Chain A
Amino acid sequence: MTALLEVAAHLPSTRFPIEDLAERLGLHDRQVRLFRRFHGLAEVRLAPGGSLLDLLLAAAARLDGLAGNEHRVRYVVHARGMPVAVPYPHNPLRELCRALGLEHALSFTLTHQACATGLLAVDAVGRMLAADGDPDALALVLAGEKTYTPDAQLVPETAIFGEGAAAALVSTGDGPGRGDRLLAYATSAHGEFDGRLRLDRDLAVRFQNEYPRLLAEVLLAAVDKAGLTLDDIALLLPHNVNAVSWRRVCKRIGFPVRRVVLDNVAVVGHSFAADPFLNHRTAVDGGRLAPGDRYLVGAAGLGATFSAMVLQHDPTGPTHNSTDQDNTDQDGVRARGNR
């Protein structure tokens, strides 16, 4: 049984009001106002001058369960939205392994599902651990990226990217204390939306029109695969593209918006594949998940991939032993929670 044993989040300390990013993003005043008033975005967390390695290390450093358990980590995986992050042959993931004493682990990047890759990584490493058959083995999943080029800064009329990062320890095996159990995963590829939304207006419109239906399909498929109905779902952890798109999806599937963790949308930015983990941390820190709660996670990636996952909360795992630290930013300021 795949389980999220612990999730840690790192939010860069620098907050940029979206108005301050207008020039960088090539946005007119009207577009900025639209993002703020209609999409519900206010500010974005960025780490100017920091590297991808810095982001990932900062997230991993907040895991209580990693230190002392390095020998148990078999896989270190970067769940990455952008197909390319650094010039070849730079390999920040390998540098991270060296820095954290994980050189013995098999490290690799999963990508090409854009911002839906985080859910893929959890499912994939869970399967690799299960195949190995060692119930004590762990996998470290990392997510978070630099906004280094226009494709990694803006989804037109939809989202502004941020540089939040996350780290998750994934375990396998049954029984209490193993973390939040993965009940089902659904993913659907829609390569017909491959293209550059910034340049192809028709493609962008088609994608926006189809997005609610396609995301709704995987959300419902994952719930069904778990043998549940939406009434059984306590909480929905979204990706942080914007608030209005989630209201549309919720209306379509009949799920109450108040049970969607939208707190980070306004103040973090869309942090690529890290969003589900950031919102997991927020939900746990805000006390919004009770023991045994089943919750749904949804994500969509440009290109396009739509994915959803159902998990069951296990409060006896170490996920909940360090809530005072994990969602704290570099200045010691607690990130926005659900309280």
Chain B
Amino acid sequence: MLTVGPPPAMAAAAPRLSGAVGRVFTGTSPTAWDPALRPFLADLVRPFGTGLREDLLVDGAGHSFGEMAEALLPDLVDDREPVDLLVLAYALHDLRLGRSTATHLSDRCPGRPAAFAVCDQGSAAPFTAVRLIESYFAGGACSRAVLLVVEQSALHYELAAPAPLPDRHTAVGLRFDTDGAPLTVRQRTAVEPAHVAAVLAAEVAALRGDRADTTLIACARLAGLLPPGIAHVVAAEGQPCTGVWYELATGRPEGLVLLAEYTPEVGVLSLSALDVPAPARPLADARAVAG
């Protein structure tokens, strides 16, 4: 149970990244053939006049957030390490539509932590999730948290408007403790596409300072808009919500690592700065598994 008083005027502690794991999942969840999926989807789309994708419903497609995220937990925490808070972040919804998966995952996580999900914010959701974790660390009631960023590629109805769609199933798990690599998040709102490059350049300059050992991990949308003179990695377009986090977890960058994500549908430019002192191992217990 998480019990907290009012938030403090001064932060008692700050979360530090102490573990990261990323995994691409192949195959299809058994949930794709769940008889409950079709009627739920039909109810969901009916008011919007959207057609179901019968081909996907018949053939079976997609993955379950719960199954993917649960597979990462043993690589993030062991049974002797109780977690206080578990947060799930996603853009496109789960294959298992009615499940409170974050709460389900709490039951699979040491410490049976308080759990919730952040969504309806596109690729900005994981950054907001980190801010929320930060705010619970600040009160002192939380000293270990897990963030699970998930996306699955199946959309069982016609897309009503252009929107990012994953081309693979990906889950990324991040572990936060009071020891580890210092990590901060900044989010700029009401950022119009025409101004993204300038805002990004200013934010990167402010976060970078005079650090030469800086790597920028940017989402695919920002490719071509990156400030010059900085080493960079561009995340895969097919991982629109997990991409930058997947690169962080599997790429093992060192030095000052900046993450940049632009989410035009909500007008948010999100940035994160992570200081990984070289030549120390970048992220304690970091593991990356792909395939």
Chain A residues packing against B (C-beta within 8 Å): 1-2, 51, 78, 82-84, 86-91, 93-94, 103-114, 117, 120, 123-124, 126-128, 130-131, 146, 148-151, 172, 181-192, 194, 196, 217-218, 221-222, 224-226, 301-305
Contact = CB atoms under 8 A, between A and B. Distances in A.
A84 B44 CA distance: 8
B1 A221 contact: yes
A90 to B, nearest CB: 7
Contacts of B47: 51, 146, 148
A181 B7 contact: no
Nearest to B66: A194
Contact of A188 (B2, B94, B159, B265): B2
Contacts of A127: 7, 132, 135-136, 138-139
SS class of chain A's interface: helix, strand, loop or mixed? Answer: mixed
Contact of B135 (A113, A130, A148, A187): A130
Given A89-B265, A150-B43, 13 more contacts: A87-B157, A89-B160, A108-B121, A109-B120, A110-B116, A124-B116, A127-B7, A128-B131, A148-B46, A186-B3, A187-B114, A188-B1, A189-B112
A146 B4 CA distance: 31
Contacts of B1: 186-188, 217-218, 221
A109 B189 contact: no
A194 B99 contact: yes
Interface of B: 1-9, 11, 36, 39-40, 43-48, 50, 86, 88, 92-94, 97-108, 112-122, 124-125, 128, 131-132, 134-136, 138-139, 155, 157, 159-161, 163, 187, 189-190, 265-268
Contacts of A87: 44-45, 48, 50, 157, 160
Contacts of A105: 189
A1 B107 CA distance: 31
Looking at B46, B135, B159, the one whose CB has the most chain A CB atoms below 10 A away is B135
Nearest to A173: B9
A190 B45 CA distance: 30
A112 B102 contact: yes
B125 to A, nearest CB: 6
Contacts of B114: 187-189
Given A87-B44, A189-B107, A114 B4 contact: no
A225 B132 contact: no
Given A109-B119, A130-B8, A191 B106 contact: yes
Nearest to A303: B100
Contact of B116 (A51, A120, A181): A120
Contacts of B103: 112-114, 189-191, 194, 301, 303-305
Counting from the closest, the 6 A-B pairs by CB-CB distance are: A191-B107, A127-B135, A89-B163, A303-B100, A149-B43, A130-B7
Given A89-B161, A190-B107, A113 B3 contact: no
A131 B119 contact: no
A111 B2 contact: no
